[in-house]
Structure 1
């Protein structure tokens, strides 16, 4: 999937490592750089925080944090989910890419889970080994990616964090 220009560091998604400037494993205190979250929910030393963008269509950024093993006071970033097409992988994949394009880059990925959002059903295809999952709006080759999910390599995205659909707060519909 050729790119017009390579992604800038702020746009670059690195599977298992980062989404733009958000680094997996970083202290959760670094999230203060994003400003106040529009929504957050925490329980049992784990938490979700959601920020909404103002673009058209509006974008959403979700970050899951949990306590650092062996420490009682430090949370770290474990999962980052973004619905903006601004973020892209070095291979050109981004939100809006089709399942066919994803499979051209990574081969056939297993369907990790599915869930219902207000916008419709979502299907999560996960490259567990690399730490990147793609949330699609369908299961056909022409289905489109609606969110990129960067997670710890070797850990299935669907099993890392609290039940995702219960905590995702979708972009409010503007009338």
Structure 2
């Protein structure tokens, strides 16, 4: 709490200095000060940490789906076909609240054909954060400072559109709404191109991207 108070208390001072010296370029000293403030941001607890290409909170990629359900409980919505399945959990079981989505499928490798493995994890709650303190609600510009984003899909519903950007090599995707804000974060295997064709929005129409 003290850290947050210190940060908010210094904002007016920083703004005043900026106004008085609006022609001043950013110096090494300024950059060091900004880095020092950012370093004070506490990392999220493991239960809310987003690790690109690996996990979100306590749910890991390639984890047995049965194990996930033991932890999260019975999903509020499920859909399955051809060895793949999609499951949704709503906070407080309220469809208007934040949600967690998991896409899973069987490997059919002849060894564990009966096991469905987690391949994609998506969250909409801002409580989940990356080590860089990135979470839903932030602007795409904030996210682009830390990841190499590529626009891979656009999904529409009436006049509303949702754009999906992903960093394939990192294994993370971000959905951006009409205002330029992030509304969902997805983790998938690093180097996997699944997000270029997988739709997590059954109520929306996919629009091809013009190259």
| TM norm structure 2 | 0.70
Match of 1:111 among 120, 145, 151: 151
Higher RCO structure, 1 or 2 (CA under 8 Å, sep 6+): 1
Distance in 2 (CA, whole Å) between partners of 1:81 and 1:146 is 10
SS of residue in 2 equivalent to 1:29: helix
Q: Which residue of 2 aligns with 1:52?
A: 90
Match of 2:115 among 60, 74, 78: 74
The 1:118–1:146 alpha-carbon spacing in structure 2 relative to 1, beyond 3 Å, is: farther
Distance in 1 (CA, whole Å) between partners of 2:120 and 2:61 is 7
Q: Which residue of 2 aligns with 1:121?
A: 161
Unpaired runs of at least 5, structure 1: 169-175
Which protein shows a greater Rg? 2
Distance in 1 (CA, whole Å) between partners of 2:120 and 2:81 is 16
User: What is the aligned length?
Assistant: 162
How far residue 121 of structure 1 moved from its aligned partner, in angstroms, is 1.5
1:164 lines up with 2:203 in the alignment: no
| TM norm structure 1 | 0.84
Unpaired runs of at least 5, structure 2: 1-34, 205-211
Distance in 2 (CA, whole Å) between partners of 1:24 and 1:160 is 18
Preserved contact between residue 152 and residue 196 of structure 2 (Cα < 8 Å): no
Preserved contact between residue 153 and residue 196 of structure 2 (Cα < 8 Å): no
How far residue 167 of structure 1 moved from its aligned partner, in angstroms, is 7.2
* Structure with the higher fraction of residues in helix conformation: 2
The 1:92–1:61 alpha-carbon spacing in structure 2 relative to 1, beyond 3 Å, is: same
Distance in 2 (CA, whole Å) between partners of 1:74 and 1:160 is 23
SS of residue in 1 equivalent to 2:114: coil
Q: Which residue of 1 aligns with 2:65?
A: 28
* Structure with the higher fraction of residues in strand conformation: 1
Match of 1:153 among 190, 197, 209: 190
Match of 2:51 among 5, 8, 14: 14
Preserved contact between residue 133 and residue 157 of structure 1 (Cα < 8 Å): no
